Structure 1
Amino acid sequence: MCGFLTEFSFNSNITGKSIFTNLLGLSKHRGPDSTEIFSCDHYQLGFNRLAVLDLSENGNQPKYSPSKRYHVVFNGEIYNYKELKTQYKLKNLKSTSDTEVLVHLLDLLGVKDTLNALNGMFAIAVMDVQANTLYLARDFAGIKPLFYGMSSNGLVAASQFNQVFKHPWFKDSLKLRADVIKEYFAFGYMQAPNTIYKNIFQVKPGECIVIKDNETVERFSFNKEIATKEEMLKCFEKNQTKAALMKAVERQLVSDVPLASFLSGGIDSPLITALAKNKKPDLRAFTLSVKDDALDEGAQASLYAKELGINHEIQQVKETDLISEINKHFMFFGEPFGDYSSIPTYLITKKAKEHHTVMLSGDGGDELFFGYPRMLDIVKNRHWFKLPILIRRPLIRLASKLKLNKTWGPFHYKTIGEWVQGKQAYIFKNQLNEFFKDAEFSNEFKELYNFEHANTNKDLILKLRENEFFGHLQRVLVKVDRMSMANSLEVRVPFLDKEVVRETFNRLPETFQSSNDLKKTLKLLMLDFYSSSSINNKKQGFAVPMEKWLKGPLKKEVKTLVFDTAFYGAGLIKTNAIKDYVKDFYANKHEAAWGVWHIYAWQKWAQCEGLIQNNLN
């Protein structure tokens, strides 16, 4: 895992070394082991390395291909690099790193075919020196970040948002986008390909962008075969799922530094841990335990560890330890982000780093295997949307009085897409419209929540998975990447292995009508490793008592940032409506702690990046 910065000048006028070095330094925590910079008259490549495979200097970057045609910086891991080395009979390699396999493949296959061959998590910048063309590519699941900005001077691409918007080509001409800011306030993150600034973007998951001669000449998607194929759809099969996961875990156990597995009290990480223990008997498991019954997963994780007979490390912390890390954890985002589960994620990765450099996680299980109750609620109540809303509402009222209806979503939302959006949003639509003058969501966001063609149960189920995968999961991946990298810790995600996703995207639940159907395949797999009495089928999460914190230790700072500080983006946001919303929270007129946190996190990010100053009065 690493951090990189790329600059491609359209007029042979690169920025000075000190400026470039300082910008690269913003991602030093992502790669503390070595830093290297290459500069010529029209491009620069900078790289901060976290050494995981081949710890020698042979694994350093930037790296040329053997022919010297391609010059590469690459963040992430290619899990099938050994298979590719054998498949393409690569010889004369000087290291055991996946980066060297990558550059050899570029010479052999070219960029497009190389990207299609990769199984991993990655963000890659490839300079084709011969054609004076830059390629930017990001793994199909969006695990690793890749931001870029285009100006008349050239292109800047980087692992962090702030490395781009602080670059001299952009910093004095930043223009905010109201539509993306509105999306952030609702959902707490920036959805690719957009950012809150015009002319600064994110490479979409599974996308490659080709830049030449002052313009983007091509965009193409790779790994298209991962998409659902109607003719191949089948029900989940436990043994095939297990085989795909086992191979994924085996590929992701390769490391030249200490590796362990996160172990929670739920389903996903205990399953990954069990599969990993099967391949690596000396595997260690790691759990963060909070001295608060409402927050703690330690007891359940210990039950799992005992059944596996695994070395289990439990780090105990207090609630005050979490609170004490809040200010520091904001320093590592570099972008607006509003999911406050980032706080325990920061602390658990900080503690894990004390003894390990690589961790396995269970992220992605809910999205791929239908683990969210909200998905079930929508499928069970889709029939209401066959009726016009004016007819639907009185019928829902009547059904509710007769205790025949338990959900009010179809009453409040005109379409299924609006209901899905409402279930995932933390500030509701009516309130958002009070915050923003005329802004709508971006076209890309609208398309993510377009359920117009989900006319059957099957179509709806497939669209819900697609929405969760390219929507909510992206927020989870931002959180885990930024917080783990803040602590120079690599987190691997076996559920998002290319072969696992290919397998699951062409599978459906046999039935999807009750809570027993949520992640049913994974629950059945758990029985191969754990007794039924020990398995916790209730969805587990690391709960944060945010309302208590906002009205307690954080209250003073929240009020300072909202009421006594210039509000970032005030020209696009109705700040009086924002202030009233926060006032009402403290007056106990509503309990929307998530919404208040999104506002606080927005201001906190702007403060950390030097975009606002305190004390208006």
Structure 2
Amino acid sequence: MCGIAGFVHLDPSAMPPAETRLSWLTAMTRALRHRGPDGDGHILEGPAALGHRRLSIIDLSTGGQPMADASDLAVVSFNGEIYNFREIRRDLTTKGYIFRTNSDTEVIVNAWLDKGPDCLDLFEGMFAFALWDKRSRTLFAARDRFGKKPFVYTLQKGVFAFASEITALRTLPFMEFSVATQALARFLSYEYVPTPQSIYKQVHKLRPGHYLLLRDGNITTAPYWDMPPPDPDTGQNEDELCERLRLLLAQAVKRRLVSDVPLGVFLSGGIDSSTVAAFMAGMSSRVKTFSIGFTEKSYDESAYARAVAKRFATDHHERILSAAECGGLLPGIVARFDEPMADPSIVPTYLLSKVTREKVTVALGGDGPDELFAGYEYFVGFNLAERYLRLPRMLRKGLIEPIARRLPQSSGYVNPRAVARTFLAGAAAPRNLRVQTWLSAFSPEAQLSLWRHPDREFLAPDSLYSPTTRLFDAFPADAPLAKVFYTFARQYMLDYILVKVDRCSMMHSLEVRAPFLDRDLAEFACRLPISMKLRGDKRKYLLKKAVADILPPEILSRPKRGFLIPAAMWLRGSLAPHMDELLGESHLKRQGLFDPKAVARLRAEHQDGTCDHRKELWTLLVLQLWLAEHNPGIA
């Protein structure tokens, strides 16, 4: 895993001297040093400039980048791994292509020369790359199928620039970057900015499963892969599907063990990471596993990880921390993100990555099954909402909803009144916005009172949530729940889960691989009938059945919970000074974005227990921390 950066002048006659361009390129790669501390490389080729920061994983001696083919027809800067590169290399060798290294990078340039954009169908891996074809003076860039690796770009003043992170783009002295209030509004609802938009109005994110071509000054993007819809007729019974799933899991894990440096496993003790650890233990001796826990028992789940480590005799490493003290790390972590992201679990993910990097350079993780095999409670909630809406209106409005408003409040992991309020709001929303309504920090209505000068047209649900409705409505499946699965993977997993893991791991120069996002395994999961994923209220139905004889019973039966984060505790404790400063009246008046009285009302209601606003306040605080650090202009 590495960092890539570069630019192309659309008008070569307007290029500055080579020394100037090289200094710009060097500044870009320097901003990505954390992604690749083992070396850097830079090349100027006509109007193109390609840079690279390397984290050495495969072919440690000859795998430096940017890398050209043996005939010097094309050169590439590549971030990620191509797990099946040896098979592709054998096929290309029989066609006469020459290889000078043992790296997966060289496969990309030769595959491009052989097939053009169709080469992407060959690659199994996680990747983002930019390739300059000297013959046609074309830039070809691509991002992997699920967007595990980032690719951002901008076109300004006759220069197309790209990078792994926006931080590198911002080093270019002649470019402008301003935050659009519409992007801020989307962030306040989604807790991230949905692809392809970014927090900056001049920057775009390449969609997953897409490629980009820059030729003759024109940019085109196109899909090369997408998630297939469910197939109601698999032609196999449950036992046969379980066997097929186990074979695909084994294949996916084995592919991700290709490395010339030590590997380990993120182990939370949940079904997903435990499954990865189990299959890896069957292929490697004394697997290294890593977890973190908290001294506060109500937030500590390290015992589950220890049980799995004992079952598979792993070399287990855990770090027990104080949850109360960890909140103080948030400002520093947020400052290093190139975009704001309000997932509280960035703190434990950052810490887990730090602990893991002390022993290994590559870790396998358990991301993906919640989206592909229906692991989230939201999916059960979607069906429950359908049944709820079939109840007589008198029963809903006259009895259930008044009772819901009187449920007790709690600052613990589950707040009964907040859960009921959120469920009812989502149930009342259109199907294509139901889950996003549940996920949102600020509803469109809440934002109308939050902003000092609200853009009422943009804050209408159809406009604010248009990224979600476009995905939902376009997916070619009849069942609404299948559309929910797809939208979840293409938004929440993409811009929330995968971004969190990429940024937090790369802060420690750690590569994280996701076996569940293997192409063959993912396509198998996508094509499963919904009943093989969600059966009644049983989530991950087929996955649990497939690993029932492998994992400890207590792991299979435990309820799904992500990193347990004491957000309410942090807001009242270590983060309180930041709340007072950044969400206080004087700062908000100077900033001019949000109504100080509206924010004060949120804080007061949360503090006195009238209403649980931890999600809204957390999101607003993260945004303010990020704005204070990056100080962007706001348009």
Cα pair distance change 1:591/1:122, threshold 3 Å: same
The residue aligned with 1:361 is 365
- 8 Å Cα contact 1:147-1:201 kept in structure 2: yes
- 8 Å Cα contact 2:309-2:315 kept in structure 1: yes
Instruction: Tell me, in whole angstroms, the C-alpha distance in 2 between the residues paired with 1:569 and 1:101.
Output: 54
The residue aligned with 1:481 is 502
**2:104 matches 1:82:** no
**2:48 matches 1:26:** no
- 8 Å Cα contact 2:308-2:552 kept in structure 1: no
Segment of structure 1 superposing worse, 235-244 or 482-491: 235-244
Instruction: Tell me, in whole angstroms, the C-alpha distance in 2 between the residues paired with 1:536 and 1:162.
Output: 43
Instruction: Tell me, in whole angstroms, the C-alpha distance in 1 between the residues paired with 2:23 and 2:386.
Output: 58
The residue aligned with 2:483 is 463
Question: Could you give the per-residue CA deviations for residues 25-51 of structure 1, whole angstroms, max 9, x where no partner exists?
Answer: 111000000011112452211111000
Cα pair distance change 1:178/1:575, threshold 3 Å: farther
**2:255 matches 1:251:** yes
- 8 Å Cα contact 1:416-1:451 kept in structure 2: no
Cα pair distance change 1:302/1:126, threshold 3 Å: same
Question: Could you give the per-residue CA deviations for residues 198-228 of structure 1, whole angstroms, max 9, x where no partner exists?
Answer: 2310000011111123321x2211124x422
Q: Give the alignment partner of residue 500 of structure 1, picking from 521, 528, 552.
A: 521
Q: Give the alignment partner of residue 204 of structure 1, picking from 201, 207, 214.
A: 207
**2:298 matches 1:297:** no
Cα pair distance change 1:581/1:379, threshold 3 Å: same
The residue aligned with 1:540 is 561
Q: Give the alignment partner of residue 514 of structure 1, picking from 521, 530, 536.
A: 536
The residue aligned with 1:561 is 582
Segment of structure 1 superposing worse, 450-459 or 78-87: 450-459
**2:244 matches 1:223:** no
Deviation at 1:98, TM superposition (A): 0.7
The residue aligned with 1:185 is 188
Instruction: Tell me, in whole angstroms, the C-alpha distance in 1 between the residues paired with 2:589 and 2:64.
Output: 39
TM alignment of 1:45-124, pairs within 5 A: 45-56=50-61, 58-89=62-93, 92-110=98-116, 112-124=117-129
TM alignment of 1:431-450, pairs within 5 A: 431-436=446-451, 437-438=454-455, 439-440=458-459, 445-449=465-469
Instruction: Tell me, in whole angstroms, the C-alpha distance in 2 between the residues paired with 1:413 and 1:353.
Output: 46
- 8 Å Cα contact 1:422-1:429 kept in structure 2: no
TM alignment of 1:364-443, pairs within 5 A: 364-383=368-387, 393-397=393-397, 400=400, 409=424, 413-436=428-451, 437-438=454-455, 439-440=458-459
Q: Give the alignment partner of residue 132 of structure 2, picking from 127, 131, 135.
A: 127
- SS of 1:73 mapped into structure 2: strand
Segment of structure 1 superposing worse, 95-104 or 563-572: 563-572
Deviation at 1:454, TM superposition (A): 11
- SS of 2:5 mapped into structure 1: strand
- 8 Å Cα contact 2:429-2:437 kept in structure 1: no
**2:168 matches 1:163:** yes
Cα pair distance change 1:454/1:33, threshold 3 Å: closer
Q: Which amino acid aligns with 1:530?
A: L
Deviation at 1:289, TM superposition (A): 2.1
Instruction: Tell me, in whole angstroms, the C-alpha distance in 2 between the residues paired with 1:315 and 1:504.
Output: 34
Instruction: Tell me, in whole angstroms, the C-alpha distance in 1 between the residues paired with 2:379 and 2:33.
Output: 39
Deviation at 1:560, TM superposition (A): 1.1
- 8 Å Cα contact 1:382-1:416 kept in structure 2: no
- SS of 1:245 mapped into structure 2: helix
Deviation at 1:319, TM superposition (A): 2.3
Deviation at 1:341, TM superposition (A): 0.5
Instruction: Tell me, in whole angstroms, the C-alpha distance in 1 between the residues paired with 2:272 and 2:431.
Output: 28
- SS of 1:72 mapped into structure 2: strand
Deviation at 1:510, TM superposition (A): 2.8
Q: Which amino acid aligns with 1:602?
A: L
Q: Which amino acid aligns with 2:109?
A: V
Q: Which amino acid aligns with 2:443?
A: F
Deviation at 1:563, TM superposition (A): 2.5
Instruction: Tell me, in whole angstroms, the C-alpha distance in 2 between the residues paired with 1:452 and 1:535.
Output: 31
Question: Could you give the per-residue CA deviations for residues 67-114 of structure 1, whole angstroms, max 9, x where no partner exists?
Answer: 32221111111111122123333664222211112222122222x111
Cα pair distance change 1:29/1:293, threshold 3 Å: same
Q: Which amino acid aligns with 2:40?
A: T
The residue aligned with 1:148 is 153
Q: Give the alignment partner of residue 242 of structure 1, picking from 246, 263, 266.
A: 246
Cα pair distance change 1:422/1:104, threshold 3 Å: same
Instruction: Tell me, in whole angstroms, the C-alpha distance in 1 between the residues paired with 2:307 and 2:129.
Output: 41
Cα pair distance change 1:612/1:196, threshold 3 Å: closer
- SS of 1:471 mapped into structure 2: helix
Q: Which amino acid aligns with 1:127?
A: W
Question: Could you give the per-residue CA deviations for residues 361-406 of structure 1, whole angstroms, max 9, x where no partner exists?
Answer: 001111000011111121233255579xxxx6434235738999x9
Instruction: Tell me, in whole angstroms, the C-alpha distance in 2 between the residues paired with 1:463 and 1:233.
Output: 19
Q: Which amino acid aligns with 2:104?
A: D
Q: Which runs of 5+ in 1 are unaligned?
A: none
- SS of 2:72 mapped into structure 1: coil
Q: CA RMSD in A?
A: 3.0
Instruction: Tell me, in whole angstroms, the C-alpha distance in 1 between the residues paired with 2:400 and 2:598.
Output: 34
Deviation at 1:21, TM superposition (A): 1.9
Instruction: Tell me, in whole angstroms, the C-alpha distance in 1 between the residues paired with 2:290 and 2:181.
Output: 41
**2:344 matches 1:337:** no
Q: Which amino acid aligns with 1:250?
A: K
Instruction: Count the aligned residue pairs.
Output: 601
Cα pair distance change 1:61/1:319, threshold 3 Å: same
- SS of 1:205 mapped into structure 2: coil
Question: Could you give the per-residue CA deviations for residues 299-345 of structure 1, whole angstroms, max 9, x where no partner exists?
Answer: 11111121222222222222255234323322321111111100000
Instruction: Tell me, in whole angstroms, the C-alpha distance in 1 between the residues paired with 2:183 and 2:462.
Output: 7
Question: Could you give the per-residue CA deviations for residues 285-304 of structure 1, whole angstroms, max 9, x where no partner exists?
Answer: 11112222122121111111
- SS of 2:3 mapped into structure 1: strand
Deviation at 1:176, TM superposition (A): 3.0
The residue aligned with 2:573 is 552
